[in-house]
Amino acid sequence: MRRESLQGVLCMYKPQEFTSFDVIGKLRGILHIRRLGHTGTLDPMATGVLPVLVGAATKACELLPDQNKCYRAAVQFGLETNTEDIWGETVSVYSQMHVTREQLEKILPRFVGKIEQMPPMYSAVSVGGKRLYELARKGIEVERPMRKVQIYDIVLEQWDEDKQTAVLAVSCGKGTYIRTLLADIGKALGGGAVMTELCRTAASGFLLEQCVTFDQVQQFCQAGTLAEHLIPTDSLFAGLPALRLNEKLTRLYCNGVKLSLGQLADVPVGENNCRVYGADGTFLGTAEICREEQILRIGKNFR
Q: Annotated catalytic, 22? A: no
Q: What region does 127 belong to: left with phi over 0, alpha with psi -120 to 50, or beta?
A: beta
Q: Which of 22, 43, 85, 215 is catalytic?
A: 43
3-state secondary structure of 205: coil
Q: What is the DSSP letter of 227?
A: G
- Non-local CB neighbours of 170 within 8 Å, separated by 6+ positions: 70, 71, 72, 73, 151, 153, 154, 176, 178, 181
Cβ distance 159 to 103 under 8 Å?
no
Of the candidates 149, 143, 113, 109, the residue with the CA atom closest to the CA atom of residue 128: 143
What is the per-residue burial (b if ≥16 Cβ within 10 Å, else e) of 129-156? eeebeebbeeeeeeeeeeeebbbeebee
Q: What region does 298 belong to: left with phi over 0, alpha with psi -120 to 50, or beta?
A: beta
Beta bridge partners of 77: 193
Cβ distance 16 to 43 under 8 Å?
no
Supply the residues annotated as catalytic: 43
